Amino acid sequence: MLCFYVLLVPAVMAIIAASFSWRAWIGWTSAGSSALILGLGLTLSVRTTLDAPVMALHGTLRADPLSAFMVLVIGTISLLATLFTPRTMRQEIEAGVTDVGRARHYAVLMQVFITCMLLAVLAANLGIMWVSIEATTIATTFLVGHRRTDEAFEASWKYIVLCSIGIALAFLGTVLVYYADLHVGAHHSTSLDWTSLMIVAHHLNPDVMRLAFALLVLGYGTKVGLVPMHSWLPDAHSQTPAPISALMSGVLLTVAFYALLRFRAIAEMALGAEFPRTLFLVVGLASLLLATALLIAQRDLKRMLAYSSIEHMGLLALGAAAGTPLAIGAVLLHILGHGITKSVLFLSSGEIAHNEGTTEIAKITGLLTRRPVLGGIFGFGLLALVGFPPFSIFVSELSMARAEVDVGLWWAVAISLVCLGVIFGAIGMHARQMLLGEPLVATAPVSTARSVAIPLVGALVTCALIGVLAWPLQSLLHSAAHVVAR
C-alpha cells in the first residue's frame, strides 16, 4: 500500500488547499506534505532496493527501484518549491500581481501537478503513465498562465498546444507497442504492463517497434524539451512563478525522460542497441548545440536557465544513447543533481527578480556587493550547474562521458565537451555581469531573509554531499539502472 500512500498525500493536500481560502499555513502544510512524500520515497527506495518491487491496488501501482528513485527526486524538488510558496504568494499579492483567490488555485494546482507526476512514475501500465504525463500538462497550463498577462497567456497557449500535439505522437507510439504486444499473444488487460512487456520484449515485431519507438522519442521528447520540439520550454519557464519553474525544470521534464528510459529498455530488447542509440544521439546532440548557440547571446535570466535545461536534457539523451548500466546510473544521478541545482537557481532568481524588478541580465549588476548571501547562493548554484566539483553534476557528467567512451561514442563526448566549454564561458560571462558588475547605485549591503537562505544553502550542500559521498545513493542508483539496462 506504500505506493498508494505516496499518491494519497498530495491528493489530500490538494483537497485541503481547495477547501480553505489561501493563508500562509496552507503553504507550510504543503511543504509538510512534500516532506512526507520525500520520507515515503526514502522508505520505498530502501524497500525496493533490499527487497522486491512493491505493488498496490491489485497491481495498478508498482514501484521498482527506478520508480522509487523518481519519487525521491519529485519529493526533494517539491519540498524546495513548496517551501517558497508562502513567500512567493505573499510577494505577488503585495505587488498586486495576484489575489487571494488565485493564490488558492495556485496551491491546488501545484498539488494536482505533483500527484500526476507521482502517478506517472508509479503506474504499472504504460498507458496510464501516458495519461498522467498528459495530465501534468493540463495542470501546469494554468500555472504558466498564473499572472494572467498577455505574455503569460501566450506562453500557456503555446505550452498546451505544442505539448498536446507532441505527446499525441507518444500515444500513437504506445498504441503501436500495444499492437505488437497483442500479436505475440499478450492478454488485453495486462499487455501494456511494464512487467509483462519486458517478458515478451524479445519477440516484439522489429518493424512495428521501430516506428513505435521513433514516435515515442519525438512525443515524450516534446515534454522533455528535446530539439526539435523544444520551443514551448523557454516561454513557459520564464512566465511561471519561480517555484513552478523549479518544479517544471527539475521534475516535469525528467518524468517524461523517465518514460523514455522505460521504452528504451523495451526497444533495446526488440531492436538491439543500435536504433535507440542513433535516435538519442540525434536529439541529444541537436539539443546541446541549440542550447549552446542560444545561451551565448541570452539577455534574460530565466530564459538563460531554461535554455540550460535544454542543454542538460540533451546530456541526459546522450547518456541514454550509451545505455549501459553505468550510463543509466549516471543519467539518474544527473536527473537528481540537475533538479536540485536548477531549483536553487530558479528560486534564487525569483528572489532576484522580485528585488530588482527585472529579469534582464544587463540591468542586474553587483549582486555580490549589494546582496552578498543571495548573490553567493546564486553564484554557487551556477558553479554547480556548469559542472564544478564537488557538486554532483560534475560526477554525473564525468560518469556519463566515461560510459559513452566505453561504447565507442568518443566523438559525441568530444562534441559535448566543446559545447560544455562554450556554455561555461557564456554563463560565466553573464554571471560576471550580474554578480561582480559595478552596482548602478551604491547602497549598503542588504541581508537576505533566513527563510530564503536556509533551504537554498541546504539544497546546495546536499548537492555537494551527493557529489562527494556516493554511498547512500550508490546501491539505489545501481538497482534502478539495472531495471532498464543490461
Residue 359 in the binding site for another protein (CB under 8 A): no
Q: Which stretch, 87-95, 126-134, 312-320, 339-347, contacts another protein (CB under 8 A)?
A: 126-134
Rounded Cα distance, 393 and 315, in Å: 11
Binding-site member from 27, 225, 234, 323 for another protein (CB under 8 A):
234
Residue 282 in the binding site for another protein (CB under 8 A): no
Q: Write the secondary structure of 305-329 as one string of H (helix), E (strand) and C (coil).
A: HHHHHHHHHHHHHHHHHHCCHHHHH
Residue 245's Cβ-side half-sphere holds a number of Cα atoms within 13 Å equal to 32
Instruction: With beta carbons less than 8 A apart as the criterion, state whether 476 and 466 touch.
Output: no
Binding-site member from 1, 24, 100, 161 for another protein (CB under 8 A):
161
For the chain, the C-alpha Rg in angstroms (whole number) is: 21
- Closest of 256, 277, 130, 270 to residue 197, by C-alpha: 270
Residues with Cβ < 8 Å from 392, sequence gap 6 or more? 333, 336, 337, 340, 384, 463, 464, 466, 467
Residue 298 in the binding site for another protein (CB under 8 A): yes
Q: Binding string to another protein for residues 240 to 279, with x set by CB under 8 A, is what?
A: ----------------------------------------
Binding-site member from 135, 198, 282, 465 for another protein (CB under 8 A):
135
Q: How far is the CB of 291 from another protein (least distance, A)?
A: 12
Rounded Cα distance, 350 and 459, in Å: 16
Q: How far is the CB of 121 from another protein (least distance, A)?
A: 16
Residues 31-50 that bind another protein (CB under 8 A): none
Q: How far is the CB of 294 from another protein (least distance, A)?
A: 6
Instruction: With beta carbons less than 8 A apart as the criterion, state whether 18 and 38 touch.
Output: no
Residues with Cβ < 8 Å from 153, sequence gap 6 or more? 145
Residues 139-158 that bind another protein (CB under 8 A): 141-142, 145, 148, 150-151, 153-158
Q: How far is the CB of 135 from another protein (least distance, A)?
A: 6
Cβ proximity to another protein, 134 vs 351, nearer residue: 134
Cβ proximity to another protein, 42 vs 154, nearer residue: 154
Q: How far is the CB of 109 from another protein (least distance, A)?
A: 12
Residue 128 in the binding site for another protein (CB under 8 A): yes
Rounded Cα distance, 9 and 208, in Å: 40
Type of residue found at 263: F
Count residues binding another protein (CB under 8 A).
53
| H-run or E-run covering 61 | strand 61-63
Rounded Cα distance, 282 and 274, in Å: 12
Binding-site member from 171, 275, 388, 424 for another protein (CB under 8 A):
171
User: In this structure, what DSSP letter does residue 436 have?
Assistant: I
- Give the interface with another protein as residue ranges (CB under 8 A): 125, 127-128, 130-132, 134-135, 137-138, 141-142, 145, 148, 150-151, 153-158, 160-161, 164-165, 168, 171-172, 174-176, 178-180, 182-183, 188-189, 191-192, 205, 207-208, 211, 234-235, 238-239, 294, 297-298, 303
